[in-house]
Amino acid sequence: MPVYTGSHALIVGINKYPNLPKSVQLKFAVNDAEGMRQTLVDYFGFPADNVTVLTDEKATLKGIEDALDDLSDRGKVRPDDRIL
């Protein structure tokens, strides 16, 4: 099994899409995103502070770009880190 110097994740879960009718909105994407975060922390050793979850109104283009910019910070992420 590979050894990583660090672990980072960005998880996006959107239930409420502003341009879609209520009848086709998702119901469990936010819950699934939170569950994935907990799984990464509990079973795969990801530090909780290194797992970013963006849901619904926070999962905007700017929010996602900002989170990716944060992941690309060389001071936080090293070459041998795993990123999901």
Residues 6+ positions from 10 with CB-CB distance below 8 Å: 52, 54, 64, 67, 68, 71, 83, 84
Evaluate if residue 74 carries a pLDDT over 90. no
Q: DSSP letter at 14? A: -
pTM of the model: 0.88
16-71 residue pLDDT tens: 999 999 999 999 999 999 999 999 999 999 999 999 999 999 999 999 999 999 88
pLDDT of residue 31: 99
pLDDT band at 1 (very low <50, low <70, confident <90, very high): low
